[in-house]
Amino acid sequence: MQVALIPLYVDYYEGVVPGIEAMKSVLLNKARAAIGERHSVTVFDRISDVKSARYARQRLLQSGFDCLIVLPLVATFSQLSDELVQGWNKPLLLLSALAGSRIPSSITMPEVVAESQGFGSQAVANGWMRQGIRFQALHVGLDSHEGVAAVRRWLAVQEAVLRLPNLRLGLIGEVFEGMTDIGLPADEFHRQVGATVVHIPMSEVHRAMEAAAACKLRELEADLRRQFLWGAFSAVEKDLSLRAALAILNLVQEAKLDCAAFNSHGAGGLQSPKLGLMAALGVTLATTRGMPVSEVGDLCTAFALWLGRQLGGACYYTELDSAYMSEKVWLLLNSGEYDLNWLRPGVKPRLIRNTNFAGVNGRGASVCAPLREGPATVLNFTPTPCGPRPFRVQFCEGRILRRWCSKLGVGNAYFELSGNAHRAYHRWLNGGPVHHSATSPGHLGSAISLFCESVGWTALEIPANTDSGAG
């Protein structure tokens, strides 16, 4: 993504604060570092008068930038920012730099003026508001973890919005018969969004499994034995699990998929002598390599996994087990799928026989490991054909606890909410969710809401900290 970073500066305060210009070069460098290296960033010369604002605007409009970040370095004048954004209709961020998280007990006026960029941001915001310019603002410390994360998450939203029309979702096999809630009408999704659903029949999976080269199978097994604590498998289970994993990885890559929904069940899956077991290993490896895959042909959750990974950096295919629920905790689990990018530090994952489903050739290899502790968000995507907008993302923020249940034999997590888990679940259920979800690291609610606003979808937050009513 092409990012323009434009600093605003006026020399009006140099007589009040000697050396302020050098100080602001440091601030600009912090902003550049906060953006990171994922994107191609062009740092413009400082805008200090109307002439330089007009020149920068012309360059902006002619150079194909995807988004614009405006950084006031001091209490700049809104005339400059008004001039700069005329004709700009792409994502716009006002980056207001917080100088500190505490108010000093003793502070002088020159010190206030030296850090007046936040004051200038108010003037910029007012000017854009008066013009009807659409923008978002962040007031964050650029040398703090939270501030850097906020900047990068805003950029992740813009990248997701930019990628959405060209997204390629794969349906590998067929949708599990009878599960109408997981269906994503391909033609309607393409018409509304631009994204494409690519269908890959199970016969292609079987073909790719049979074609797997012996040397590739040996390489994959050796790699997995280094990464995992290796469980006990029959020779057939091991061979078919490895073949299915290579087949999924190759098919996803060949079709240039961004995410996919596989179906291990049915005539072409568990009941087929050509597969006959769960393909959780292949689902895990594709997800870990950046191409998230759901199960049972659930394209809705495949998309939720993609979005969660875009915004949070990892994604866990999730079944919210509502049969057991404490006052504060939801239990999250699945049928053996995992994302190794979210592995808890210091833990070596186990590769074991699937504890959930069995087919004609056995159970297949699945991952058992805890998720990394910390803030997390459960998100759920669905079409809303009877709603005011065509699609919706429902979400709830919480925290992954250290506790987990290794006896389940699959990756799982205890998801702690800040309020009553039962009441939050009532709201979750009343929202009408798909019966699978995605879970991703971080509190992503504001990013999900911004994404939905940007693409014309509904964002439905399920408050985690409410103590009122069950409706």
Q: Which CATH number belongs to the domain containing residue 127 in this structure?
A: 3.40.50.10940
Q: How far apart are CA 215 and CA 234, in angstroms?
A: 20
Work out how many domains the chain is built from and give that number. Answer: 2
Residue 469 forms part of a structural domain: no
Q: How far apart are CA 231 and CA 409, in angstroms?
A: 11
pLDDT tens per residue across span 446-459: 999 999 999 999 99
Residues 34 and 121 in one domain: yes
Alpha-carbon dihedral 382, 384, 390, 394, rounded to 10 degrees: -50
Single residue among 164, 189, 223 that ends a domain in this structure: 164
Residue 468 forms part of a structural domain: no
The answer to whether 95 and 31 are in contact (CB under 8 A) is yes
Residues 423 and 282 in one domain: yes
Mean pLDDT for all residues in the chain: 93
Asked whether the predicted pLDDT for residue 230 surpasses 70, the reply is yes
Residue 154 forms part of a structural domain: yes
Residues 407 and 350 in one domain: yes
pLDDT tens per residue across span 119-145: 789 999 999 999 999 999 999 999 899
pTM above 0.85, yes or no: yes
The pair of three-digit structure tokens given for residue 34, joined into one six-digit string: 């906060």
Residues 141 and 192 in one domain: no
Single residue among 106, 130, 164 that ends a domain in this structure: 164
Residue 16: the pLDDT is: 66
What one-letter code names the amino acid at 364? G
Residues 144 and 160 in one domain: yes
Q: Exposure pattern of 77-98 as b/e (b: 16+ CB <10 Å)?
A: bbebbbbbbeebeebbbbbbbb
Residue 471: the pLDDT is: 37
Q: How far apart are CA 92 and CA 376, in angstroms?
A: 27
Residues 112 and 218 in one domain: no
Residue 467: the pLDDT is: 55
Residue 470 forms part of a structural domain: no
Q: Which residues does residue 39 pair with via DSSP β-bridges, in sequence order?
A: none
Residue 466 forms part of a structural domain: no
Identify which of 172, 159, 308, 161 has the alpha carbon closest to the alpha carbon of residue 253: 172
Residue range 284-311: mean pLDDT, rounded: 98
Residues 60 and 138 in one domain: yes
Residue 173 forms part of a structural domain: yes
Residues 278 and 359 in one domain: yes
Q: How far apart are CA 161 and CA 75, in angstroms?
A: 32
Residues 387 and 334 in one domain: yes
Asked whether the predicted pLDDT for residue 246 surpasses 90, the reply is yes
Range of the domain at 432: 167-461
Predicted confidence band at 468 (pLDDT cuts at 50, 70, 90)?
very low
Residue range 267-271: mean pLDDT, rounded: 96
Residue 469: the pLDDT is: 42
The pair of three-digit structure tokens given for residue 470, joined into one six-digit string: 């069950």
The answer to whether 317 and 337 are in contact (CB under 8 A) is yes
Residues 67 and 175 in one domain: no
pLDDT tens per residue across span 340-398: 999 999 999 999 999 999 999 999 999 999 999 999 999 999 999 999 999 999 999 99
Residues 200 and 136 in one domain: no
Residues 127 and 210 in one domain: no
- At 208, which helix (H) or strand (E)? helix 202-211
Higher pLDDT, 108 or 190: 190
The pair of three-digit structure tokens given for residue 243, joined into one six-digit string: 């073949």
pLDDT tens per residue across span 14-66: 666 776 777 788 899 999 999 999 999 999 999 999 999 999 999 999 999 99
Residue 14: the pLDDT is: 65
Q: Which CATH number belongs to the domain containing residue 421 in this structure?
A: 3.20.14
Asked whether the predicted pLDDT for residue 13 surpasses 90, the reply is no
Single residue among 97, 131, 164 that ends a domain in this structure: 164
Q: How far apart are CA 92 and CA 139, in angstroms?
A: 14
Look at the block and give the residue holding tokens 């190794």: 340
Residue 277 forms part of a structural domain: yes
Predicted confidence band at 12 (pLDDT cuts at 50, 70, 90)?
confident
